[in-house]
Amino acid sequence: MSIAPPVLLLVEDEPAQREILLYNLEAEGYTVITADNGEDAALLIEEEVPDLIVLDWMLPRLSGIELCRRIKARAATRDIPVIMLSARGEESDRVRGLETGADDYVTKPYSRPEFLARIRALLRRTRPTAVGGELAYDDIVLCGETHRVRRGDQDLRLGPTEFRLLATFLERPGRVFSRDQLLDRVWGRDIYVDTRTVDVHVGRLRKALCVYGGEDPIRTVRGAGYALG
Ligand code: CA
């Protein structure tokens, strides 16, 4: 996969359910971190904001409902899509689930293809290039499905790292990414790479984007990192 896979946080206390979900989500190519109670999940979210949260309704220590409420109350985590899982299917629960701010709600037993389709639909909002979508900024267009990048009428040739870098920037135009954040998102969190490597690849990306002319869209933010636009 040439774009860093979305990171999903799976919060489910029943081991068998958790294993099945983990298996299905990893089979889709997602990076999955798991928690079996609400408090641990809250700590994991503090450490690293996931791209999506699959959240069981009834959890020990801190319930899924309460955790969802907290996630949606904080500016730093509000935009993370949350899918709530529930064993109960009463309409009143569904309404309560959505009232907590959950983005979607799935009743167990759920249909696997439908569940995965709903995850893709939510990820299209937060990680469009990772699920085959197209992203554009000014005259630059990146297609997650064909892995092509165009600027105006020209096809651009980007190395795999520059492609992932551009996808990361395009998913959040204007956001300043620190070198460490770029390392996590583009190279992966388990790989040791010197932060200066980021500068080298940003340089290559700039060169590739401007090879047929046009302004350099990437901004260096002194002491902070890089941003698109
Ligand atoms: Ca449960």
Looking at residue 188, which CATH number applies to its domain? Answer: 1.10.10.10
* 24 lies in the same domain as 118: yes
Q: pLDDT (tens digit, 9 = 90+) per residue, 190-211? A: 778 888 999 999 999 999 999 9
pTM over 0.75: no
Tell whether 102 is covered by a domain.
Answer: yes
Tell whether 104 is covered by a domain.
Answer: yes
Residues 229 and 218: their CA atoms lie apart, in Å, by 6
Contact of 104 with 83, CB cutoff 8 Å = yes
Among residues 168, 167, 178, the alpha carbon closest in space to that of 222 is found at 178
Q: pLDDT (tens digit, 9 = 90+) per residue, 157-195? A: 999 899 999 999 998 899 999 999 899 888 877 778 888
Distance 17 CA to ligand 1 centre (A): 9
Tell whether 221 is covered by a domain.
Answer: yes
Distance 183 CA to ligand 1 centre (A): 35
Distance 80 CA to ligand 1 centre (A): 21
Among residues 41, 32, 43, 24, the alpha carbon closest in space to that of 5 is found at 32
Structural domain for 177, as ranges: 132-228
Point out the domain boundary residue: 81, 112, 127.
Answer: 127
Distance 62 CA to ligand 1 centre (A): 11
Among residues 219, 203, 208, the alpha carbon closest in space to that of 154 is found at 208
* 123 lies in the same domain as 12: yes
Tell whether 224 is covered by a domain.
Answer: yes
Average pLDDT estimate for 139-145 = 89
What CATH number does the domain containing 70 carry? 3.40.50.2300
